[in-house]
A = this chain, B = another copy of it.
Amino acid sequence: MNPAQKKRRGQLIVLSGPSGVGKSTVIAELLSLRDEIYFSVSYTTREPRVGEEDGVNYNFVDRAAFEAMIQGGELLEYAEYVNHYYGTSLRLIQEKLDRGIDVLLDIEVQGASKVRKKCPDAILIFIVPPSFEELSRRLRGRQTDSEEVIAGRLAKAREEYRHIRQYDYIVVNDKVSEAAGEILAILTAESCKTEHRIHMIEGDNAL
């Protein structure tokens, strides 16, 4: 076997960003550009929004079911956010990573911090709008939330921004295609890191 082709472990990629930044659109673009990434669908106890599908955007479960998963140790991370649980199933992710498949998680800052502790190699990316003013405009443009809910989301976003230094990268979602392109560049660069490729050198028998 050519050492260059030796199967590496998959990369665990964490995407966070304030509500309204357009994360789902960026993720959809990313997955359309590179379909070998596995997008881990989170579990949540919140109600589906208009257009959201069970098993696609989230696995929608009730509080009792979610708390059973916590008790059973089935979650890589979970957090409570605006009075609802959000969490990530451990088993499926491990299986994909072991098979060399990159796994993408869409989780908020508390969850990201827990993933960082459990998986120090995870790549943490925070998506921001071009400006905070623009975020406020996008949230209002969505027309799904009351002013009160929007104010809550903006306050939450300010709080999230305070944890931004735990992230490895910041990607600006001005144009969706550019944001997705930057994330792809990050994944390529990470796979080029010496620690991930040194085995090619060390496994080269002609050396």
Contact B201 A170 (CB under 8 A): yes
User: Which DSSP category, helix, strand, loop or mixed, fits chain A's interface?
Assistant: helix
Task: Give the bracket for the number of chain A residues in contact with chain B.
Answer: 35 or more
Contact with B along A169-201 (1 / 0, CB 8 A): 111101000000110111011101110011011
Interface status of A4 (Cβ within 8 A of chain B): yes
Q: A164-B198, A189-B189 are in contact. Are A131 and B170 (CB under 8 A)?
A: no
When C-beta atoms are compared, the residue in chain B nearest to A133 turns out to be B206
Interface residues of A (CB under 8 A from B): 2-4, 125-126, 128, 130-133, 136, 158, 161, 164-165, 167-172, 174, 181-182, 184-186, 188-190, 192-194, 197-198, 200-201, 204, 206-207
